[in-house]
Amino acid sequence: MLSIDFDNTYARDLDGMYLPVQGAVAPDPALLWLNEPLAADLGLDPGALRGAEGVAMLTGSAMPMGATPLAMAYAGHQFGGFSPQLGDGRALLVGEVIDRHGQRRDIHLKGSGKTPFSRGGDGKAVLGPVLREVLISEAMQALGIPTTRALAATTTGETVWREAPGQGAVLARVAASHLRVGTFQFFYARQETARLKRLADYAIARHFPELTAGPDRYLDFYRAVIARQMDLVAAWMGVGFIHGVMNTDNCAISGETIDYGPCAFMDTFNPDTVYSSIDRQGRYAYGNQPVLARWNLARLGETLMPLIAPEDPAKALPQVQAALEEAETLHDAARRRVFGAKLGVSAPTDALIDGFLDILTAQSADFTQAFQALGRAASGDDTSLTGLLGADPRLSAWLEPWRGALDRPGAMARANPVYIPRNHKVEEALEAAQAGDLGKVHRLLAVIAEPYRRRAGFEDFEEPGTPAHYQTYCGT
Ligand code: AMP
Ligand code: MG
Task: For 449-476, write each residue's pLDDT tens digit.
Answer: 999 999 999 999 999 987 667 888 877 5
- Give 196 Cα–ligand 1 centroid separation in angstroms: 23
d(CA 47, CA 39): 10
pLDDT at 96: 98
pLDDT at 412: 98
pLDDT in tens, 61-107: 999 999 999 999 999 999 999 999 999 999 999 999 999 999 999 99
- Give 126 Cα–ligand 1 centroid separation in angstroms: 13
d(CA 180, CA 183): 5
pLDDT at 476: 59
Q: Which of 249, 267, 279, 366 is catalytic?
A: 249
Q: Which residues does 55 contact at the CB level (< 8 Å), separation at least 6?
A: 29, 30, 31, 49, 61, 154
pLDDT at 120: 93
Q: Among residues 156, 154, 152, 127, which one has the least CA distance to residue 138?
A: 152
pLDDT at 474: 78
Atom 6, ligand 1: which residue's CA is nearest?
A: 86
Question: First and final CA of the chain: distance in angstroms?
Answer: 33
Rounded to the nearest 10°, the torsion over CA 308, 309, 314, 320 is -30
What is the 8-class DSSP label of residue 15? T
- Give 112 Cα–ligand 1 centroid separation in angstroms: 12
Q: Which phi and psi (to 5°) does residue 73 adopt?
A: -85, 135
Rounded to the nearest 10°, the torsion over CA 423, 127, 262, 338 is -60
Q: Where are the domains of the chain?
A: 9-175, 345-407
Burial of residue 295 (number of CB atoms within 10 Å: 0-12, 13-18, 19+): middle
Q: Among residues 171, 160, 62, which one has the least CA distance to residue 109?
A: 171
**All residues with CB under 5 Å from ion ligand 2:** 250, 259
Contact residues of ligand 1, CB 6 A cut-off: 86-91, 117-118, 121-124, 245, 249-250, 259, 261, 474, 476
User: Any idea how long the chain is?
Assistant: 476
In this prediction, the residues of the chain whose per-residue pLDDT falls under 50 are none
- Give 359 Cα–ligand 1 centroid separation in angstroms: 39
Q: Tell me the Ramachandran region of residue 228: left when phi exceeds 0, alpha when psi lies from -120 to 50, beta otherwise.
A: alpha
437 part of the active site: no
Which of ligand 1's atoms lies nearest the C-alpha of 249? 4
Chain centroid offset of residue 211 CA: 25
pLDDT at 468: 67
